[in-house]
A and B are shown apart, each in its own frame.
Chain A
Amino acid sequence: MKFLRHLAAATLVVAAVVAAGLAWGHFDPGPLPGPGQGGPGQVVVRGQAVKRLPPGFKIRPGLRVISIGPENLGLTSMFQAVNLPVLRDTVEIEAGVIAAVVILEIGQRRWRRARRARRLADVTRPPR
């Protein structure tokens, strides 16, 4: 029961962030009416909007269909050695950041301990 309460509270916080994000997207005067993701002169059609071109359909000169086949899910890409460097790069970045934070944290803790020890020594030192 307690967990469900916590889940509801967490969902509420996430919903607030989602609402703020959607509002940002709605009111952003940025490049929404732009040329599309494919770059200038290209239009990206998502999802199942175009499955295949009808027989005898002629594409206007200047337009080019890059892919009219189904979306390539790349389900086998994990088994291709050529894609392994992508995962290795991610792991290296994560490991690098973790190592940097751990080193910083250890350094900071040592510095704090040394400062506390110096202060303690100053307080306990007998007056001359």
Chain B
Amino acid sequence: MATSPAGSVSGAARRRRIAARTRLDFWFDGILLLGYTLAYSYGFTGIGIHEWLGLGLGLALLFHLALHWDWVLRTTRKLTSPRGHDRVIWVVNLALLVGMTLCILSGILISRVALPYLGINLTRIGPFWSTVHDTTAEITLGLVPVHVALRWRWLVRIGRRLVAWRAR
């Protein structure tokens, strides 16, 4: 099939656009994983970095969710279809959303550095939120690698393409 020069240019531009979005997803997800790993390692980072990193992760996760909102809608509509793989990913992602949100919320409520620095001093915060923070942190440590691993084929494919692209 013959294509006009304008058509081929717009096609190339479109391909570049898709690649740019894929690159954004790949690197942004990588940074999120690195940020989460550091934020979880409280004893390594110390409380200051732990809290600020946690707050940053909260915003970044909102951005991540918005970037993949199309997938959320598409998969939610197809939940009743017999294909099982996406259903498993959907359930894992939902659990991760709830776990991560509660973890960050409880982290904000028990904050000793970031919130007082911003001039917010929460009183009457009992040990309930500390327990929630610890429990949800443990749960997310189990779910984050599952969330990553369920997309391992995509990660390997894009990783290989990026390495090949940089080697050119």
Contacts and interface: CB of A to CB of B under 8 A. Distances in A.
A48 B121 contact: yes
B88 to A, nearest CB: 10
A28 B125 CA distance: 13
Interface string B41-52: 111111111000
A46 interface: yes
Contacts of B46: 72-78
Chain B interface: which size bin? 35 or more
Interface in A24-83: 25, 28, 30-34, 36-37, 46-49, 71-78, 83
B149 A105 contact: yes
B66 A49 contact: no
**Helix, strand, loop or mixed for chain A's interface?**
helix
A114 interface: no
Interface in A14-28: 14, 17-18, 21-22, 25, 28
Contacts of A11: 62
Given A37-B127, A47-B115, A71-B47, A13 B66 contact: no
A117 interface: no
Given A7-B63, A34-B127, A105-B149, A97 B47 contact: no
Contacts of B139: none
B98 interface: yes
Contacts of A28: 128
B126 to A, nearest CB: 4
B44 to A, nearest CB: 4
A83 B43 contact: yes
A86 B112 contact: no
A46 B125 CA distance: 9
Contact of A31 (B70, B126, B141): B126
B75 interface: no
B32 interface: no
A80 to B, nearest CB: 9
B121 A78 contact: no
B148 interface: yes
A74 B128 contact: no
A90 B152 CA distance: 19
Interface string B77-102: 00000000000000000000110011
Interface of A: 3, 6-7, 9-11, 13-14, 17-18, 21-22, 25, 28, 30-34, 36-37, 46-49, 71-78, 83-84, 86-87, 89-91, 93-102, 105
Given A30-B131, A94-B37, A97-B145, 5 more contacts: A7-B62, A17-B98, A33-B126, A90-B40, A95-B145
7 contacts: A3-B66, A14-B65, A21-B105, A30-B128, A49-B121, A72-B47, A74-B49
